[in-house]
Structure 1
Amino acid sequence: MSTVLFWFRSDLRLHDQPALHAALASGATRLLPVACLPAQDEAAPWGFARVGPHRRAFTAAALRGLGERMAALGNPLLICQAPPAMALPRLAQAVGATMVVCEDIAAPYEQAEVAALRAAGLQVRCVWHSSLLPPACMPWPVDQLPGVFTTFRQQVERAGITPAAPLPAPARLPPPPDVHAWMTEDILQAVGAGQGAAALRAPALQAGCDPRSSFPYGTPACNGSEAAALDHLARYLERKLPHSYKATRNGLTGLDYSSKFSPWLATGALSPRRIYAQLKDFERCHGANEGTYWLWFELLWRDYFRLLHLQHGAALYRAQGLSNRPSAQHSAHGFERWCQGETGEPLVDAAMRELAATGYLSNRLRQVAASYLIYDLHGDWRAGAAWFESQLVDYDVYSNQANWLYIAGCGTDPRGGRRFNPARQAQDHDAGGHYRRLWAAAHTPQDAL
């Protein structure tokens, strides 16, 4: 009788789950599904929590939804508040397993987690499934990825590469290991199971229901679960919002100016292939236009950022990134003012207050805020990337890192950075001042640093 540990990472769903299908196809007769929450006191190198309260709350909702679905299939999800390198080897020893199956994530922190498991003697099978298109289907090897997104997109489109159909959710799962044989108080305490369960029972943050938020994750419609993700996708299509996406995507407030797929894509509660398949159905029924194409365009950007990580790896996390620029000086005082929304630049301050209060920020304002930190406050772009990692409910390691590199001029873009003039951006996108007034006196619910 063989037992396999399935480690949920940034793939908190059952639909279109190739890694889980791989675990089920391995011949395992017992399956122990596990997720590991980061420690409450885990700090970023810049002195603040690596995972802030908004992101923690949204992920907890995703895990609650996943746990309910797993329990309905007869195999409850075990939530551990302990590092994977501590929890998974201990669990594997307890249940007599040697194999862990999980999502492959091509970023240094996540790769180090897998390396630690292998160093502990476990076999780890990593399955790549976060992109819309598989890297192996690209027109070139990953190490020859075009350095410009437009070239990448044009070559993909000319080659006619399209995603595979999404996989169905499994109808059944192997049973868990016999709880009487391994689930002792000592083991549960060692892996932080009690703390993990308590974290999922914690009351929702009031900030998650802020009526000013463009993504009020504490409300049923924006709940972090897979069920809410699929409902949101269905409603978005039913209301024919893809047709207007390109025209509205640079909005600053409200739920409907953008697709809002990103929070669920970030936790993995929603599969990009599921989005694409239903978008194609929508186009067959209601017609394609510039807006529906632009959703495909954005999903391709998301894939491009993943391929950049496969191509360059840890080099994307150096101070100079892929450039030859000298390391930037860092103004700690300027960075603190930026985090607190106290720079004196109204649009930037409004954006940073919204981020701190709600865990969300429009793409346009992310660019403006990042540019201001780098070029006006002379802050290290890596500190800004870490702050977004801490705060954003839709934090995605690939997109966050690549977008900050893009603004800082340390990535592949040949134009060497993007400086946004906040006064011009306010004139173009908040001419009446509504957004700045909305967040002018916002109270930050936590200490920034």
Structure 2
Amino acid sequence: MKKFIIYWFRNDLRLDDNPALNHACGLAERNGAELLTVFCHTPAYSALNSCQTKWGFARISSHRRKFLRDSLNDLRYQLHQHGFDLLELDGELSAQTELWTYIYRHYELQTIVCEEIAAPEEMAQVESLHALKLPVHTLLQSTMYAPEDFDFELVSMPDQFTAFRHKVEQGAYSIRQPATCALSNNFVLSDPGLLAFSVQMQSKEEACVEHPEQDNRSSFPYWTVEFSGGSQAALRYLESYFSTDKAHSYKQTRNQLHGTGFSTKFSPWLASGAMSAPQILAALRKFEDEQGKSDGSYWIWFELLWRDYFRFLHCKYGVQLYRASGLSKSPVSLPAFDAQKFQAWTQSKSGEPLIDAAMRELATTGYLSNRLRQQVVSYWLHELGGDWRVAAAWFESQLLDYDVYSNQGNCLYLAGLGTDPRGYLGGRWFDPQKQTKQHDADGAYRRLWNTI
């Protein structure tokens, strides 16, 4: 019976700088095993599955599905260059169970290797494999900094971001160095019985494929070659970005509302794992070596550190971040869901032109500037008196760059239920009138999205 190792792609849809994949390759080489690369869809992915939140809307939009499909097609193409195929599994548990049964029958499965994702649903996915007596080895690999290099345990990390940042800066900890892909044609598996599982998934998808409308107003036009899903486009874009001086002006432009050039636009590729934080840092350091350091280049690192921070907070607090009261030490009474207010908010009928323009852009394109994300969540919390969890779920549904760590962390922070010492709704209010005057004084953004 053949020895068998599975590499399970999750939010790491790339070959280069993928330590977990390289670990799987090393295990296969040392043990004379064959390697199978797998991606498991969630039930929310398929348009045939009406997976919804408890508030009645789909968990994943057509924009997100399309960007993921392009990312997977790109990953499959690159795997083909190494003699591999990508086995895509349907999100239904029954379909995945059939695969494990097939593997048990035909192979000696040594281990499943995958990225560690320290969020409840993603951890439950791993636990479901353990429950089937399958060996799983996970590696945390989505951060700039390796927690094992810190001189403190994550359970004792500072709760406030500023204190965490100072500790990291003063500690001068090393940043992960990007690693090259270790895939080798020595590990090739072409079992028709296994590949049939992927054919079934593709056939199901083709029967329900959606083609979201392309809108040229988008700040991230993912249907174009430049902004398409997958690591090939991501790395081309990364090189292109740092061939300009945009990094120097990033701090000054990052709060703008619209356009492809005001912010780095790395986030959709980071979220899917088509691009890694160490790859960005390597490009940033090279830019600084050649062009000099600036407030703008520092701020790119600063924003990526926020990303690390939210990941490490999940390692520290885990499921507590998903409680209705978040990290609050006192019980919090959240408002009941008001469907009428929710419809007004999501369908751009609130009557506040800037908010309505932002929500129209989000629904139409799957993207929204960071400044506007904060404003629309603040509006939902303060003006409409909404439940912060609804905002988090809506962003999960809509955003091309949805990232479970950052989404949960940011929404908790704005609600005052994360690590902000001001408490529930204690001070993260964005006055819509003031924000409009500061960021859209000439009305250009509102006119673009037809709200004035």
Q: What's the TM-score, normalizing by structure 2?
A: 0.92
1:91 CA displacement: 5.0
Work out which of the residue numbers 85, 90, 93 in structure 1 matches 2:104.
93
Unaligned 5+ segments in structure 2 are: none
* SS state at 1:431 partner: coil
Q: Is 2:386 aligned against 1:379?
A: yes
**Aligned equivalents of 1:128 and 1:246: distance in 2?**
29
- 1:429 and 2:436 are equivalent in the alignment: no
Within a 5 Å distance, the mapping from 1:230-379 to structure 2 comes to 230-323=235-328, 324-330=330-336, 331-379=338-386
Report how many aligned residue pairs link the two structures: 435
Distance in 2, matches of 1:64 and 1:58, equals 10
TM-fit CA distance, 1:93: 2.5
- 1:202-261 Cα offsets, whole Å, 9 max, x none, are 877353x41100001111100001000001100100012111110100011001100000
Describe the superposition over 1:234-290 as per-residue Cα deviations: whole angstroms up to 9, x where unpaired: 010001211111010001100110000000000000010010011101100110100
User: Which residue does the alignment assign to 1:37?
Assistant: 41
Determine if contact 1:355/1:392 at 8 Å carries over to the other structure. Answer: yes
Distance 2:104 2:160 in 1: 47
**Partners of 2:122 and 2:186 in 1: how far apart?**
27
Q: Which residue of 1 aligns with 2:14?
A: 13
SS in structure 1 at match of 2:446: helix
Q: Which runs of 5+ in 1 are unaligned?
A: 443-449
The whole-number CA distance in structure 1 between the counterparts of 2:77 and 2:86 is: 8
In structure 1, distance between residues paired with 2:431 and 2:52: 32
**Aligned equivalents of 1:176, 1:49: Cα separation in 2:** 38
Per-residue displacement from partner, 1:119-167 (whole Å, max 9, x unpaired)?
0110011111011101122231111110110110011010101212100
Residues 306 and 384 of structure 1: is their aligned pair in 2 closer, same or farther, counting only changes over 3 Å? same
1:389–1:395 contact (8 Å) kept in structure 2:
yes
Task: Return closer, same or farther for 1:440/1:13 CA change in 2, 3 Å cut-off.
Answer: same
Letter in 2 for 1:279: L
Q: How far did 1:176 drift? A: 3.7
Contact in 2 for aligned 1:13/1:269 (Cα 8 Å): yes
TM-score, normalisation: structure 1? 0.93
The match for 2:181 among 147, 169, 182 is 169
Contact preservation (8 Å) 1:89, 1:117: no
State the 1:38 CA deviation.
2.5
Contact 1:221/1:228 (8 A) holds in 2: yes
Output the CA distance in 2 between the equivalents of 1:172 and 1:285.
34
> CA, structure 1 residues 126+184, in 2 after alignment: closer, same or farther (shift >3 Å)?
closer
**2:118 alignment partner in structure 1:** 106
The amino acid of 1:195's aligned partner reads: M
The residue that corresponds to 1:446 in the other structure is: none
Q: Distance in 2 between matches of 1:352 and 1:203?
A: 25
The answer to whether the 8 Å contact 2:12/2:274 transfers is yes
**Is contact 2:110–2:135 with CA below 8 Å preserved after alignment?**
yes
Separation of aligned partners in 2, 1:50 and 1:303 = 25
Amino acid at match of 1:3: F
Cα 1:84–1:220 change in 2 (3 A) is farther
Of all paired residues, the percent bearing the same amino acid is 44
Measure the CA separation in 2 of the matches of 1:155 and 1:112: 32
Deviation string, structure 1 residues 274-319 (Cα, Å, up to 9, x no partner): 1001110110011010000000101100000001100000110111
Measured after TM superposition, the shift of residue 172 of structure 1 is 1.9
Look up the match of 1:25. 26
How far apart are the structure 2 equivalents of 1:221 and 1:291? 23
Offset, 1:173? 4.5
- Report the Cα offset of residue 341 of structure 1: 1.5
Q: Does 1:121 align with 2:125?
A: no
The aligned amino acid for 1:234 is E
Q: What residue is the counterpart of 1:194 in the other structure? A: 200
Q: CA shift at 1:194, angstroms? A: 2.1
Shift of 1:100: 1.0
Partners of 2:182 and 2:281 lie apart in 1 by 20
Write the distance in 1 (CA, Å) between the matches of 2:436 and 2:100.
52
| Cα distance in 2 between the residues matched to 1:94 and 1:427 | 66
Runs of 4+ with deviation above 6 angstroms:
200-204
Residue 79 of structure 1 aligns to a residue whose secondary structure is strand
**Residues 28 and 402 of structure 1: CA distance in aligned 2, closer, same or farther (over 3 Å):** farther
Tell me, in whole angstroms, the C-alpha distance in 2 between the residues paired with 1:271 and 1:10. 10
Matched, 1:145 2:149: no
